Structure 1
Amino acid sequence: MPESKLENFVFTVMMAFVMVYAMICYNIALTIGGMRDAVLLDAFREMMIMWPVAIILEMFVFEKPVVYLTKRLITPETPILLIILIRCSITVCLMCPTMSLIATALFKNFQAAGFIGTWLQTAVINFPMAIGWQIFLCGPAVRFLFRTIFRKDN
């Protein structure tokens, strides 16, 4: 997909925006007992913090481990779709607990259950949403949009 540092940055910014926005909406909806129109606007307050955090984590902390782990699991014969699924899954496995940790520290009321308990619960609740959203909706949509923007005419 991305072939240059600029393309990689743009792809990361796009993917982080869609993933973080959806996960914030999901967590707000869980907190208030359901999805409401107001959630879609309320999410932008947390986005100002969590979107840059996700970009920084992806580009400077997790990109190399994700590439390394993906290369350990594939062969030259591995179909591109499987490579994409492996890379997305590894990314979610690393980003979800980390972003849940940060969100717990910044936005959760963890006084009653304790910080670690609240973080673990948040990560466990977020993981199925994050993996499903990444594989079935966000990932394909962002990759399509990215290919459209950076179309290489041969």
Structure 2
Amino acid sequence: MPKTKSQGVVFGLLMSYFMAYGMEVFNVAIKMGYGTDLSQMPNAVFLGALKEASYMGLFVFLFSSLWGNRIGAHFMHRHKTENSYLNRLLRQAGTVGIMCPTMSMVAAILFNLLMGGAPFSQIIAIWIGTVLKNFPIAFFWNMYGAAPLTHRVFQKIYA
């Protein structure tokens, strides 16, 4: 875990980009028409996701730094246990609980309103639909993919 401010920034950037990339793989595959049958998606999904994650990762880093990490820490302290591993999972769950709706709003505005041409009057419906579609993936991708990968890479950098 980070011990200095600069290590915290590196950790935050790693987590932000790993989360953004994983979520963009899922969303690009859906946009390409693969819906729930992701076993048939082509390799092109990964390049498309890399392009979108390049800027979405910045939004993730910004909003997690502003409020996502703080709310996740508050959630963990509210439900704190004696088990440090369980506390880490609680913090991750709290952070995903606020970051998924936040990033779903960013995605609703960027991809549906600005790029897709949907009317602004539909923002609430688009946002709720985006949260419902992304929350399960965000939760499990964070728990079993992005967080373990971030910890492993961070430990390799600062070992």
TM-score normalised over the length of structure 2: 0.86
Counterpart for residue 74 of structure 2: 68
RMSD: 1.7
Superposed CA deviations along residues 83-109 of structure 1, whole A, max 9, x for unmatched, are 111011011000001101101100124
Q: Distance in 2 between matches of 1:16 and 1:130?
A: 12
**1:66, 1:90 within 8 Å by CA — same for their partners in 2?**
yes
Q: Distance in 2 between matches of 1:114 and 1:36?
A: 31
Aligned partner of residue 103 in structure 2, secondary structure: helix
**1:25, 1:40 within 8 Å by CA — same for their partners in 2?**
yes
Counterpart for residue 37 of structure 2: none
Counterpart for residue 98 of structure 2: 94
Q: Distance in 2 between matches of 1:57 and 1:126?
A: 17
**1:110, 1:118 within 8 Å by CA — same for their partners in 2?**
no
**1:104, 1:110 within 8 Å by CA — same for their partners in 2?**
no
Counterpart for residue 131 of structure 1: 139
Equivalences for residues 38-117 of structure 1 within 5 A: 38-75=44-81, 78-108=82-112, 109=116, 111=118, 114-117=122-125
Residues 31, 16 of structure 1: alpha-carbon distance in 2 compared, 3 angstrom cutoff:
same
Counterpart for residue 6 of structure 1: 6
Q: Which stretch of the first structure deviates more once superposed, 111-120 or 79-88?
A: 111-120
Residues 27, 140 of structure 1: alpha-carbon distance in 2 compared, 3 angstrom cutoff:
same
**Equivalent pairs: percent with the same residue?**
31
Q: Distance in 2 between matches of 1:125 and 1:37?
A: 22
TM-score normalised over the length of structure 1: 0.89
Superposed CA deviations along residues 12-31 of structure 1, whole A, max 9, x for unmatched, are 10011111011111111112
Q: Distance in 2 between matches of 1:73 and 1:91?
A: 14
Aligned partner of residue 114 in structure 1, secondary structure: helix
Q: Distance in 2 between matches of 1:47 and 1:131?
A: 18
Superposed CA deviations along residues 13-72 of structure 1, whole A, max 9, x for unmatched, are 001111101111111111211222112111233223211111111112222222222112
Q: List 4+ stretches of structure 1 deviating above 4 A.
A: none
